Chains A and B, each alone.
Chain A
Amino acid sequence: MAGTAVRRRLTWQVATVVAVNDETATVRTIELAAADWAGHRAGQHLDVRLTAEDGYTAERSYSIASAPGEPVTITVQRLDDGEVSPYLTTELRAGDELEMRGPIGGYFVWDADHTSPLLLAAGGSGIVPLRSILRHRARSGATAPVRLLYSVRSLPDVIYRTEIDGLADGVSVTYALTRQQPPGWTGHRGRVDAGQLEDVAWPAGRDPVAYVCGPTAFVETIAEGLVGLGYLPHQVKTERFGGPGGP
């Protein structure tokens, strides 16, 4: 690529694991320290590359969980048939090194000077980049009102639960528990449908912006639902993690 007009080269670098923290039975947050980190925007991701002794490499993208200005952290969901996530969530220790490059992305990002009402819709580990947005909003003193819709299998699967339950100051949180509800649960059961989305979403007339992240099927359902409620395509930012049917 020498000689081309690059604004900022995206190069692989070695990062050191500073700390690991289990969020749920299958989800771990990993704090990284990298010598050459330009700083990130809320919603961006980074690529991780693992190389086996025989030279085989595997790359995966992980959303950045921390706010701009905070140490870089990623939150990884273990996929039992995965090549990378089982290592990151069970074997990686503080002091270990891994290859990464980033930050990456300029579409699924939110900056603190945005004042439009925010609808944040997460399916499962799709909460990770939205948590970066929420932390950035709190740290920067931004006043954009937020509604968070978090679809997850059961309460024990909620990532960052203490932090989310402590959200206040213009943030309202709605959980949708798709598989298992605790006794006495009065909130939403099952997958989010058009009716519940309409209850939670800002009216299109308030010029909202939606950030929707999660398994592909979840994202498609929410994005189509929002368009049905009158949201314009540029008001619905989506990021799909792939995966099976959804949380």
Chain B
Amino acid sequence: MDVLDGNAIGGLLHEVFGTEMTAATATCASCGATGPVAQFVVFMRAPGTVARCRNCLAVQMVIVQCKGMNCVDLRGLARLEAA
């Protein structure tokens, strides 16, 4: 599967967070880089969806769909603020 960016998971993130998130501002817990979620480096078959920091490639989000639920891991983020 190709490497995409955070735009590609706009629908999934809307489903998880209940609002538009591609324009949200994320701060990486590893390197401190700040930028829009749309700029994440995204892998969609990892399995599940993995979003990494464009600056340092640290994992920012992992979302795995299982039995109709989304399991969400945001430990790679220091901050996430909706636009």
A181 within 8 A of B: no
Interface size on B, residues (CB 8 A): 24
B64 within 8 A of A: no
CA of A27 to CA of B39 in the docked complex: distance in angstroms? 27
CA of A216 to CA of B19 in the docked complex: distance in angstroms? 26
Beyond A7-B18, A10-B15, A239-B38, whether A104 also contacts B10 by CB under 8 A is yes
CA of A101 to CA of B11 in the docked complex: distance in angstroms? 8
A216 contacts B2, CB within 8 Å? yes
**Chain B residues near A243 (CB, 8 Å)?**
2
A239 contacts B7, CB within 8 Å? yes
CA of A240 to CA of B40 in the docked complex: distance in angstroms? 11
Interface size on A, residues (CB 8 A): 29
B18 contacts A104, CB within 8 Å? no
B18 contacts A107, CB within 8 Å? no
A9 within 8 A of B: yes
Beyond A216-B2, A239-B5, whether A104 also contacts B14 by CB under 8 A is yes
Q: How many A-B residue pairs lie within 8 Å, measured between CB atoms?
A: 76
Beyond A233-B35, A242-B2, whether A105 also contacts B7 by CB under 8 A is yes
B4 within 8 A of A: yes
**Chain B residues near A233 (CB, 8 Å)?**
35
Q: What are 24 A-to-B residue pairs whose CB atoms are below 8 Å?
A: A1-B15, A1-B18, A4-B18, A5-B18, A6-B18, A6-B19, A10-B15, A46-B11, A101-B11, A102-B11, A104-B10, A104-B11, A105-B20, A106-B23, A107-B22, A107-B23, A107-B36, A107-B37, A108-B7, A108-B38, A216-B2, A237-B38, A238-B5, A241-B2
Binding site for B on A (CB under 8 A): 1, 4-10, 45-47, 59, 61, 101-102, 104-108, 216, 233, 237-243
